[in-house]
Structure 1
Amino acid sequence: MTLPYAKYLRAGSAMLGGLALGLLATFLSLNSGYGFNPLRAGPWTAWPSVGGAEIDPYARAVVARSGEAPLGRDQGLAFIASDDSDGAPLDGACEYRIVDPLPTARFWTLSLATPAGALIDNPTGRYGFSSVDVLRREGGAFEIAVARNARAGNWLSPGEARRFVVMLRLYDTPLDTDAHPDPQSFPKIVKQKCD
C-alpha cells in the first residue's frame, strides 16, 4: 500500500531536480564564453555576433551581467587568447613573446587582462600597445615581451596575476567573419621560460 502523499513527493522531487538542473545549465552557459559561433584562429577566439543585432540569448545574458559594451560588427572585432600558440594556458609565472603578423586593420590594440576581462594591476601602469605606439623593427615587424621583470623594447607585465589573457582588438578590419581566418595571419604567442 502506498502512502497518499507519495505521488506528491515524487512530483515535488522531480520539480526540484528540474529546477536544480536548469540553474546548473544557466550557470554553465553564463560562465563558458559568449554563446555560439565563435571565430577561431590559432589561440585567438572572437564572437562576431556579440556586438550585432543577431546576438544569441546566452551571449546577451553574459554581456548584460558583465556590463561591457562590445564592439559592433561594423566597428571591429575583439579576439581573446587564453592559451599560447602551443595550446598551453597562459601563466603569469612564464615569459612569452608575442610576434607579428596581424590581420589587416586600420587600427589595433593588444593588451593583457584577467580572465574576467579586468585590467591587470602592474608597476609600470602600461596595460597594452597599439598600432600607433608599438616599437617596430626595420620593415614594420614588431615583438612584444610579456614577463614580470622589465625588458627592453615593447614589454608588458602580467603583474602578480597567475592567470591572464591577451586581448587583440582590430578596428575597421576587412576580416571576413563568415570565413575561417588564416591562423598564420595572427600573432604568435611563444612561451620562452617559466619560473
Structure 2
Amino acid sequence: MLKTPFMVAITLVIAFAGGIWSVLAALDATTGLAAIRIGPWEAFPLAQTVKADPYARAHRARDGRLLYASAEGLTFTARTDASNAPLDAACTYRLTGLAPAARFWTLYTRPANANPDRPEGLNSRMILREIDGSFAIDVSARARPGNWLALPASERFVLVFTLFDTPVASSTGVSDIPMPELTKLECAHG
C-alpha cells in the first residue's frame, strides 16, 4: 500500500536532484556561448547585454557580480598559460606584450592575495614599460624585481584582465587584438 507513494517520492527526489546537478554542472562548464578567445584569454562581451545567452544570464544571477556594459569595459580571464596548462600558484609566470587599446586596465588574481603587504593588483598607470609600450609582469608567490603581481596561497587561480573604455568589446576583428602572452617560467614543485 505504501509502495507506490514511496516509489513516486524516490523518483521525484532523483529527478529534482539530477536536474539541479545538471544545471550546476552546465554553469560550471561554461560562462556563456558568445566568447572571445585569444590565446589563454577569454571574455564574454555580450554577457551584460540583452543579447546574452541563458548561460551568461544564469552566471550573472548566481555570482551576483556587476558586469560592465560593452561601452564601459570588458573583462578577460585566463585559467591556463600559453601551453594550455592550468595556472598553479606554485609556479612563476611572465605576462609580456602589449595591452589592447583601452583608456585604463587592471590586472589581479582570483582568489585575491590575502597578504596586505603584497601587491593585490596592477593597473596601466603603475607599471614600468619599454619604449615601444610593451611590458613584462612577473606573476609569482615570491617577490620579483620590476612589475610583480603576488599570487594567492591557493593552488589554482585565475588572472583577471579588465579593460575600461575600450573599443575591443565591439570589435569584429578578434584576431588583430593584441593580448599579453602568459608563459610559465618555473615551478617550485618541479
TM range (shorter): 0.7 to 0.9
Name structure 1 gaps, 5 residues minimum: none
Select between 166-175 and 30-39 the one with higher mean Cα deviation. Answer: 30-39
Give, in angstroms, the shift of residue 135 of structure 1: 0.8
Does 2:12 match 1:19?
A: no
In the alignment, the residues of structure 2 paired with residue 108 and residue 136 of structure 1 have an alpha-carbon distance, to the nearest angstrom, of 14
In the alignment, the residues of structure 2 paired with residue 80 and residue 183 of structure 1 have an alpha-carbon distance, to the nearest angstrom, of 18
Q: In the TM superposition, what are the counterparts of 1:100-179 in structure 2 within 5 Å? A: 100-114=97-111, 119-175=112-168, 177=170, 179=172
Aligned 8 A contact 2:109 2:152 in 1 = no
Q: What's the CA shift string for 1:54-96, capped at 9, x where partnerless?
A: 2233322322222210111111210000100110001100011
In the alignment, the residues of structure 1 paired with residue 175 and residue 120 of structure 2 have an alpha-carbon distance, to the nearest angstrom, of 27
- 2:62 is paired with a residue whose SS is helix
Give, in angstroms, the shift of residue 171 of structure 1: 1.3
Does 2:43 match 1:62?
A: no
Aligned 8 A contact 1:50 1:59 in 2 = yes
Does 2:29 match 1:29?
A: no
Q: 1:110 to 1:34 in 2, by over 3 A?
A: same
Runs of 4+ in structure 1 off by over 4 angstroms are 4-14
Aligned 8 A contact 2:73 2:169 in 1 = no
1:22 maps to a residue whose letter is: G
Partner of 1:40: 37
1:105 maps to a residue whose letter is: A
Give the RMSD, CA atoms, in angstroms: 2.3
Give, in angstroms, the shift of residue 109 of structure 1: 1.2
TM-score under structure 1 length normalisation: 0.84
Aligned 8 A contact 1:41 1:180 in 2 = no
Q: What's the CA shift string for 1:130-185, capped at 9, x where partnerless?
A: 11111112222210011121111100110422111111111121125563622771
Aligned 8 A contact 1:41 1:183 in 2 = no
Identity value in percent: 35
Give, in angstroms, the shift of residue 9 of structure 1: 6.1
Select between 155-164 and 10-19 the one with higher mean Cα deviation. Answer: 10-19
Q: 1:148 to 1:6 in 2, by over 3 A?
A: closer
In the alignment, the residues of structure 2 paired with residue 13 and residue 161 of structure 1 have an alpha-carbon distance, to the nearest angstrom, of 39
Q: Which residue of 88, 92, 105 corresponds with 1:91? A: 88
TM-score under structure 2 length normalisation: 0.86
Select between 135-144 and 24-33 the one with higher mean Cα deviation. Answer: 24-33
Number of residue pairs the alignment of both structures matches: 188
Name structure 2 gaps, 5 residues minimum: none
Partner of 1:51: 48
Partner of 1:185: 178
Aligned 8 A contact 2:98 2:133 in 1 = no
In the alignment, the residues of structure 2 paired with residue 112 and residue 26 of structure 1 have an alpha-carbon distance, to the nearest angstrom, of 27
